[in-house]
Structure 1
């Protein structure tokens, strides 16, 4: 069903991403380079699940220098990040909620054998979006509320305002790729979440989702709806 070269590439892609995420967890929690915004300690490893070494590079450049340990070791504040980096970090924050929601929903739909209007893909869309929305708002609340000193109700409202459009644009890119996976690349039989190539292709889809969400995050930051990170 899957070409040998794609199977090898899939295992390689998943392995590199897993090692990248593990390295980030060790560096943040084991070595003590904890970010001042606690939720980013989760965002960085989750981002590595689909961006792999790119996430490690971005963390070493803009994530680790924000930690108090790095600043004590170097005796200075970190260099100012380029203007495009802030929205990119915001996109990764949104993407982490999407990624965790997608992983949980994909396995749930698979294990339950769920369908919507006779379509597994539609069931995946609904499950992915709902869980991604819930986790995305929670992630955004944990970022916005401490920075703005907001209570629970106001914080959740502002988190939803900042994250719904960003999250939706991420899922638009991912869902388009999932349609290609299901209807074009592997129509019969469909790939399922119990196959490594499924998750390798989902990594690709999440990178595409990042690309479709980034311009929206730039706009949200410019309008002051979302914080630059």
Structure 2
């Protein structure tokens, strides 16, 4: 029964990756979010493809900017960006930690460091440096807090899910078993759901971008939508968030940082209480 479910899951995941990889080439989205949806489809299979169609895929030619302008789609793009980048590091940390049979606390620390490091330096600072005037250093500074808040909440959702399922399903704690990767997929999905509200706050307060619309010059000329509304190639986080809210105060950011750490600690406590922490 379990083997059949796993077989079906990974077949659907492979088909989802192929579909998104081919289709996203025709979607006028930023390159980093195109890669994000491909990675999400690899992590979450048909759910990733569903998120892509629901939140990013252009419904009709020339309507992408209008389609993604709604707040919930902006936040979906922000969340997918977070999960794609952080997820790559988290999966690498989980595989290394499980292979080396590291103590749980070291294992989780490795996942956090690799997830945060890859998500922050590569998926956020490097890929989004144009929004910081092309400066990687400035981009590192501007993306640190958003990445920290989002990563904490993502891990808060992932940890209890991952720990509980690995205890519930025998033999699933080693990367050599397909069950391990299935559990990591489910954990990332749960983490994305938990991280969505935090990303809503980040987008609403200009600390993270959402979806964007970037067309080639020749494609923009043929578009039925106004060119200015469609082109957003080099804007900062404030302009791409599509919101009129004011940037948050330092006090508000500190409070949200404390809240995110509290959620992360709560996730660890739930894992401890469930008897899965060794």
Q: Residue 75 of structure 2 aligns with which residue? A: 87
| Residue 185 of structure 1: how far off its partner (Å) | 0.9
| Residue 150 of structure 1: how far off its partner (Å) | 4.5
Closer, same or farther in 2 for the Cα pair 1:95/1:76, shift >3 Å? Answer: closer
Q: How do 1:98-177 and structure 2 match up within 5 A?
A: 98-111=86-99, 113-115=100-102, 119=103, 121-137=104-120, 138-177=122-161
From the CA coordinates, give the structure whose radius of gyration is larger: 2
Determine the C-alpha separation between the residues in 1 that align with 2:43 and 2:172. 21
For the Cα contact (< 8 Å) 2:20–2:49, is it kept in 1?
yes
| Residue 58 of structure 1: how far off its partner (Å) | 3.2
TM norm structure 1? 0.80
Of the structure 1 ranges 211-220 and 149-158, higher mean CA displacement relative to structure 2 is found in 149-158
Q: How do 1:4-43 and structure 2 match up within 5 A?
A: 5-28=1-24, 32-33=25-26, 35-43=28-36
| Residue 176 of structure 1: how far off its partner (Å) | 1.3
Residue 177 (structure 2) aligned to one of 186, 191, 195? 195
Post-superposition CA distance 1:100-148 (Å, at most 9, x none): 112222222234x242xxx2x3333122111111111121124542234
Post-superposition CA distance 1:37-90 (Å, at most 9, x none): 21122101111123322322332344342xxxx98xx35554333321111110
Determine the C-alpha separation between the residues in 2 that align with 1:57 and 1:178. 23
Structural RMSD (CA)? 2.3
Tell me, which stretches of 5 or more residues in structure 1 are unaligned?
Answer: none
For the Cα contact (< 8 Å) 2:36–2:84, is it kept in 1?
yes
Post-superposition CA distance 1:160-182 (Å, at most 9, x none): 12211101111111111122134
